Amino acid sequence: MRNIFLVFVFLLFVMNVEASSDLQMAQKKSPSQEPHFTSPLIFKSGEEYEITKIDITTIPNINSLKIAVKGIKLGDKKEQVTKLLGHPDEINEMGIYFYKEASNPLFAIVFDSENTVRRIVLFPQFSKYVMGNTKKLLSHQIATDEELRYFLLGIEDDKIKAPTGRVTFRYLKEGFEFTYFKMGNDIEDFMFFLKYPAKIR
C-alpha cells in the first residue's frame, strides 16, 4: 500500500510539471473580502520565514520563495539539504527525498536536473510542526471549505478535477498548489506543494 501511494505521488508530480509548462499566468480574480494572502507584486528571495516558527498566513504578500521548511527553500542545492536535514528516510527511483516520522511522510524534496530544490511537498502529518492558520493550509479543510480558502488565499487561479476525482487548486503567482482526493469514508489524501511562482518560471 505504501509503494502504491508513493508511486501515485510521483505520477502526480510528473503530470503537474508537464501541465505547468503549458499554463499561462492567469489573472487572479478578487473575492469580495480581501484575503490574508495578496498576490505579490515583487518576488524577493532575500526574505525568509521558517514555516515551523511563524504562522505564514500572517505575512503580507507571502509567496513560496519566502518560505523555508526546516531551513530548506526552493533553489537550495542538494548538498545543503543533506547538511541541514541529514540523509532522507527514503529516496525513490526519481530521486525524490522523503523525510518521515514513524513511517509516515512529513515532507518531500523534489530536485531538478541540476540538483536544485524545485518543489517541496508538505503532507498533513507535518501540520503538528506549524502554528495558527498554517495548520489549516496543510489539511483537507483548505480544499473543502470554500469560505476558509477564499479568506486565507483568495480565489484560486486554476481548479482542475481529474477523472479519478482528485481536485487540484493552483495559486500561480504565489507558487502554492494543493491536491485533495476522497473515496468513501475511509480514503482521504491531501498534499500541499511549494513551487516556483509563475512570474519567474
- pTM of the predicted protein model: 0.78
For range 80-99, the mean pLDDT? 95
Between the CA of residue 26 and those of 20, 29, 125, 156, 167, what are the distances in Å?
A: 12, 9, 31, 10, 18
Per residue in 134-163, pLDDT tens? 999 999 999 999 999 999 999 999 999 999
Please report the pLDDT score of residue 43 as a whole number.
43
DSSP state of 2: H
Please report the pLDDT score of residue 46 as a whole number.
58
Please report the pLDDT score of residue 199 as a whole number.
66
Q: Grid coordinates representing 151?
A: 479568506
Domain-by-domain residue ranges, the chain? 43-200
Please report the pLDDT score of residue 63 as a whole number.
93
CB 123 within 8 A of CB 137: no
Report the alpha-carbon distance of residue 6 to residue 20 in Å, rounded: 21
Please report the pLDDT score of residue 179 as a whole number.
96
Q: What number of CA atoms fall less than 13 Å from residue 90's CA on the CB side? A: 18
For range 63-82, the mean pLDDT? 95
Specify the DSSP element, H or E, that contains 7.
Answer: helix 2-22
Please report the pLDDT score of residue 29 as a whole number.
41
Report the alpha-carbon distance of residue 16 to residue 23 in Å, rounded: 10
Per residue in 161-198, pLDDT tens? 999 889 999 999 999 999 999 887 777 899 999 999 98
Composition of the chain by helix, strand, coil, percent to 5: 30, 25, 45
Kindly state the percentage of the chain with pLDDT values over 90: 68
Average pLDDT, the chain: 81
Per residue in 1-55, pLDDT tens? 544 444 444 445 444 444 443 333 333 444 444 444 443 333 444 578 999 999 9
Q: Which residues pair with 50 in a beta bridge?
A: 68
Report the alpha-carbon distance of residue 141 to residue 48 in Å, rounded: 26
